[in-house]
């Protein structure tokens, strides 16, 4: 491009993605991978026509109001876009895009790891071995929960949820799900649809969350809904922390109502609720659902595809605002 558009890139991206960025744009990269403050973000955006951020940057209505007028598109390196005030972006005429589809397999893999890790007490077991506290074997030692043939509830049967269902069928799990709309039979593949979350929860030996954060889903998993799960159910969250009420989750784990939880997404990341850290029956990961080489490259290329379309005067494929 002649007079290449200036693109502010807020985090260090995979090398292949940065190579393409430098080739096609005047890219302001972040080689030290520093997390910018709001002030730094706005300052760095001066003269930029686009911002390529991650979910670690929060574009509140106030931040969007203070962005330079030259900024016309926020091309997220993430499938979630709850970190952007969509209405404020629309009001200012800023296009917002995300990167769907390309991280479904990786997130589904991580979900299965969380499910099995929580069920089979993997965190406890690894600590025993690493700390040289494993003394002997007995029939009562480290007894967990079997995954095979159990009932799996999927809250949000979108792209990731459908891949999780396919993977879980390999363990002969019975699939139950709730979503705003029922899937057609060729996608449902025998899964049991429930019109409400409350109807589904009593049928879930395992529950995994795969919905976006909206006003309706924020704090969705609260004390009342955790109480609807069968005693000893296992909870998995590889979506967003805001979907869960931490007080309710901790209480359910402490009381034994939940046998265990596998978690990759938290409220107030990266500051995880210390109560969760102190529980033996939590299997915790640092928000790495999309963290494979293949997926991170694909996410970056998808974000760049959206930028390319915008600057070519076309509609970005993944426009959300």
Choice among 240, 257, 259, 296 that is catalytic: 240
- Look up the pTM and report it: 0.93
At 71-111, the pLDDT tens digits run 999 999 999 999 999 999 999 999 999 999 999 999 999 99
- Tens of pLDDT along 151-172? 999 999 999 999 999 999 999 9
Cα–Cα separations (whole angstroms), residue 249 to 23, 166, 226, 267, 280: 47, 27, 8, 12, 14
Q: Cα 189 from chain centroid?
A: 24
pLDDT in tens, 201-210: 999 999 999 9
Q: What is the CATH number of domain 104-284?
A: 3.40.50.720
* Of 43, 70, 198, 269, catalytic: 269
CA 297/CA 290 separation, integer angstroms: 10
Q: Domain 6-102+293-311 class?
A: alpha beta
Average pLDDT of the segment spanning 52-66: 97
Q: Is 166 a catalytic residue?
A: no
| Domain positions in the chain | 6-102+293-311, 104-284
Residue 1 has pLDDT above 60, yes or no: no
H/E element, 224? helix 223-226
66 is catalytic: no
CA distances from 279 to 237, 254, 260, 274 (A): 16, 8, 9, 9
Q: What is the rounded distance in angstroms from the CA atom of residue 276 to the CA atom of residue 253? A: 9
Answer whether 6-102+293-311 and 104-284 agree in fold.
yes
Q: Tell me the percentage of the chain whose pLDDT exceeds 90.
A: 98
Place of tokens 């959300």: 320
Active-site option among 28, 159, 259, 287: 287
- What's residue 3's pLDDT? 87
Is residue 55 annotated as part of the catalytic site, yes or no? Answer: no
């Amino acid at each position: 491009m002649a007079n290449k558009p200036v693109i502010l890139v807020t985090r260090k991206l995979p090398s292949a993605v940065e190579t393409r960025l430098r080739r096609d744009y005047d890219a302001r990269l972040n080689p030290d991978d520093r997390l910018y403050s709001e002030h730094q973000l706005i300052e760095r955006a001066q003269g930029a026509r686009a911002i390529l951020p991650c979910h670690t940057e929060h574009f509140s209505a106030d931040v969007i109001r203070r962005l330079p007028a030259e900024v016309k598109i926020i091309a997220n390196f993430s499938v979630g876009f709850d970190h952007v005030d969509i209405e404020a972006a629309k009001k200012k005429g800023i296009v917002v895009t995300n990167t769907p589809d390309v991280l479904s397999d990786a997130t589904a893999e991580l979900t299965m790891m969380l499910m099995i890790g929580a069920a089979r007490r993997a965190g406890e077991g690894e600590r025993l071995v690493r700390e040289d506290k494993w003394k002997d074997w007995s029939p009562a030692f480290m007894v967990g929960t079997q995954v095979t043939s159990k009932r799996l509830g999927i809250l949000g049967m979108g792209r990731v949820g459908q891949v999780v269902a396919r993977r879980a069928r390999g363990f002969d799990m019975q699939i139950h799900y709730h979503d705003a709309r029922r899937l057609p039979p060729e996608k449902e593949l025998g899964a049991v649809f429930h019109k409400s979350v409350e109807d589904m929860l009593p049928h879930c030996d395992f529950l995994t969350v795969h919905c976006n954060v909206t006003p309706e889903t924020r704090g969705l998993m609260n004390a009342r809904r955790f109480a609807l799960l069968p005693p000893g159910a296992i909870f998995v969250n590889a979506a967003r922390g805001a979907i869960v009420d931490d007080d309710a989750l901790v209480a359910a784990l402490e009381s034994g109502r939940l046998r265990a939880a596998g978690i990759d997404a938290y409220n107030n990341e990266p500051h995880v609720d210390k109560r969760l850290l102190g529980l033996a029956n939590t299997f915790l990961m640092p928000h790495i659902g999309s963290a494979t080489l293949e997926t991170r490259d694909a996410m970056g290329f998808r974000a760049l595809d959206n930028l390319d379309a915008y600057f070519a005067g076309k509609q970005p494929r993944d426009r959300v605002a």
